[in-house]
Chain A
Amino acid sequence: MSVKSTVPPAASPVRQMRYLKPFRQRVGEALSSYTARVLLQGLFTVFAVMTFTFFLVRLMPGNPVDIKIDQLMQTQGLTYEQARSQAAGLFDMDLNAPVGQQYLTYVQRVLRGDLGKSILSAGTPVADIIWRFLPWTLFSVGLGLLVSFALGVLIGAAMAYWRGGILDNVMTAVASILYSIPEYIIALLIILVAGVQLQLFQVGELRGGFNPDVAPGFTLEFIGSILKHATLPVITYVLATIGGWILAMKSSTISTLGEDYITVAKARGLSERRVLTAYVGRNALLPLVTRLSVSIGLVVGGSVIVEELFQYPGLGRQLLRAINGRDYTVMQGIFLIIAISVVASTIIADLMLGWLDPRVRVGQKATKG
């Protein structure tokens, strides 16, 4: 019999108020400040990349402008002054101005959405090139990544769930092999084995984004043609990335399955489906979301060789052309786009993580008692 003093455990209305109101406010504030912070960080990164690219083009020893001037002097027999002024016209910038001022002009233009003009196809605005080729890359890479992520997560989770089973053993080997092969090798294998050896398709027919005989338009035929032409690059992207997703999801799911809250959820009599989705799946997915953002960004840049191999009219192929032809304004523009896509995907992943994981929203700050 414990004799207790009669002090009530202070549950006064004042105390309730103190908890209820700031609680909602706090979550609201944290969410908005979190979003703001993420966006600001993203803007800063894009700006930093833009600056870096600019000075790289402008200041590297044997810089692109000088190389162009040399080229013009040699090929067209111009004097240095003539070549310089012609190069200046090509680069659409005043080379006599101090570097700082040139940079300011460049930034001002970029802010207005003007990325300058291509050197190779003289006169074509870089923005036009990007708008023309970016959708193809976004479509093929995006579709590939989506399929790969979804399949990889499902397979990885299933492997972890039936750990040690046939699926697990077979897929672990397959995933490890796929994970270790670079995507251009996979693309070459597809072309050589499926296309040339087995004659499953005509490599030549699948060049370009769609069949030029089909009239562009919102028709079944045209859409079908687009899908058909995207098949090979998409398969390549899926095969190249799915191994990573499978292995990551498997290990993440295994560690989640060992958590106490899974045992508790089962002990509470929850249906297997509910346990697997809201308890195992959602928690196991968290570490993969961060990974997803990194790969989205990298794949946009990494599609260069695959697009060239399949002659797919994407941005990666344009980048390769720009590098070969020393089209520096286009390179500058494409690098900017890659930077923006990396940053944007990171922001999306961060926001998704915040949506999936309440702990991130409040900036990792748990109430300690």
Chain B
Amino acid sequence: MTPLIELKHVYRHFEVNRQRLPVLQDINLSIAANEIVCLVGESGCGKTTTGKILAGLLGPSSGEVLIEGRPRASYTGREAALLRRALQIVHQDPFASINPAHTIGQILGFPLQRHGMVRSRAELRRRIWELLTLVDLTPPGDIVNKFPHQLSGGQRQRVSIARVLTVNPRLIVADEAVSMVDVSIRIGILKMLHRLREQLNLSIVFITHDLALAKYFAWDGRIAVMYLGRIVEIGRTPDVIAHPAHPYTRALLAAVPEADPELTRHKQHLELRSEDIPRLTEIPPGCAFHPRCPFFVPGVCDTRVPPLEPPPDYNQLAACIPLVETGRLIPYTERVNPDGR
């Protein structure tokens, strides 16, 4: 089946202070209709840029973006307009993305009218009511005349999701969409996104730095782990979370505290060889993670850029040459001191 959207060998760089920052390198990612994909990684890993490219807010510096098998550039005129509506993004801070001077009714009404989605005032009203009900802001009559500042953080985020839904999207990129929302309310919004995905046949790309949240949200989907502009591991969520392959994913998972005192205190951490994250201007050669990797193999990891391949005994893809070639990882210290002294 043709994926809804596919990135092929996508590179993206930015020019900052006359320095070239390679923010994305060789990203290959396809998202099927109705699929959930989580992009996880630390700040500066390129997950937001990937999200923007998927949503069409940014173009790649090189590489291809295919939509239902056709290059994005081949969509012109009315098709291009439809495409823009089909791919939508929800940002982290609803306060920054919705106009504080408009009522909720206006915020939802403008795109509906602008894109000619409604024919009459009665239909407009009906559609706004429908959207607010869809995002659990009920009764809509209580909400529609309020201003954003009169709503709670969770409610505001629901409004920004409802606004995205006005144009009947096929894909929603949710960039840290619940990071600013309180713990007790997050789950409600995530559950709603799940429900919307089923009801409206949406694909969702969920961008987060919170692995536990990613695991919960994308349990039926896939997780892609990014590091310094590359995807280092991608696979079905249960596989990646339960049996992480790439050393970076292992380090991340081992580092996350758990909301369970006994478990979290006995968790085995993976100590990195360095705590410094290299700058994007000085990405290490070979595998970008090698200067920090506890399983570093000199001569291999620092010379060859690892491709995403299936390691033996794993169901996912990982970009780690020693693991793919030998099926196991040996700690660098053991390699240097085989006697353990």
Contacts and interface: CB of A to CB of B under 8 A. Distances in A.
Contacts of A365: 17
Nearest to A363: B17
A365 B16 CA distance: 9
B198 interface: no
Interface in A1-17: 1-7, 9-10
Contacts of B277: 369
A2 B268 contact: yes
Size band of the interface chain A makes with B: 10 to 19
Contact of A9 (B43, B44, B274, B332): B274
Given A365-B17, A368-B44, A369-B277, A5 B270 contact: yes
B121 interface: no
Contacts of A7: 271-273, 294, 331-333
B271 A5 contact: yes
Given A5-B294, A365-B17, A10 B273 contact: yes
B333 A9 contact: no
Interface string B326-338: 0000011100000
Contacts of A364: 17
A1 to B, nearest CB: 6
Contacts of B271: 4-5, 7, 9
A363 B19 CA distance: 13
B333 A5 contact: yes
B260 to A, nearest CB: 15
A363 B18 CA distance: 12
A4 B269 CA distance: 6
Interface string B257-281: 0000000011111111111110100
Interface in B101-129: none
B276 A369 contact: yes
B335 to A, nearest CB: 11
B17 A2 contact: no
Nearest to A11: B274
Residue among A6, A7, A9, A10 having the largest count of chain B Cβ atoms under 10 Å: A7
A2 B333 CA distance: 18
A10 B272 CA distance: 9
A1 B266 contact: yes
B276 A2 contact: no
B274 A2 contact: no
Contact of A10 (B266, B269, B274): B274
Contacts of A6: 333
Residue among A1, A2, A3 having the largest count of chain B Cβ atoms under 10 Å: A2
Contacts of B265: 1-2
Interface in B222-273: 265-273
B17 A9 contact: no
Contacts of A5: 270-271, 294, 331, 333
Interface in B3-50: 17, 43-44
Contacts of B276: 369
A1 B264 CA distance: 9
Contacts of A2: 265-269
Contacts of B267: 2
Contacts of B43: 368
Nearest to A365: B17
A173 B279 CA distance: 51
A3 B268 contact: yes
Interface in A109-168: none
A364 B17 CA distance: 9
Nearest to B333: A7
Nearest to A367: B279
Interface in A274-325: none
A9 B294 CA distance: 11
Contacts of B266: 1-2
A1 B267 CA distance: 8
A55 to B, nearest CB: 33
Contacts of B44: 368
Contacts of A3: 268-269
Interface in B58-103: none
Nearest to B280: A368
B247 to A, nearest CB: 12
A5 B329 CA distance: 14
B294 to A, nearest CB: 6
Interface string B267-300: 1111111111101000000000000001000000
B250 to A, nearest CB: 12
A168 B203 CA distance: 56
Nearest to B292: A10
Contacts of B294: 5, 7
Contacts of A1: 265-266
A16 to B, nearest CB: 13
Contacts of B333: 5-7
A368 B273 CA distance: 20
B15 to A, nearest CB: 14
A5 B333 CA distance: 9
A158 B124 CA distance: 54
A205 to B, nearest CB: 59
B248 to A, nearest CB: 15
A4 B254 CA distance: 11
A365 B271 CA distance: 30
Pairs A-B, 7 closest by C-beta atoms:
A2-B269, A4-B271, A5-B271, A3-B268, A10-B274, A7-B271, A7-B333
18 contacts: A1-B265, A2-B265, A2-B266, A2-B268, A4-B269, A5-B271, A5-B331, A6-B333, A7-B272, A7-B273, A7-B294, A7-B332, A10-B273, A10-B274, A365-B17, A368-B43, A368-B44, A369-B276
Interface of A: 1-7, 9-10, 363-365, 367-369
Given A5-B271, A369-B277, 6 more contacts: A4-B271, A7-B271, A7-B273, A10-B273, A364-B17, A368-B44
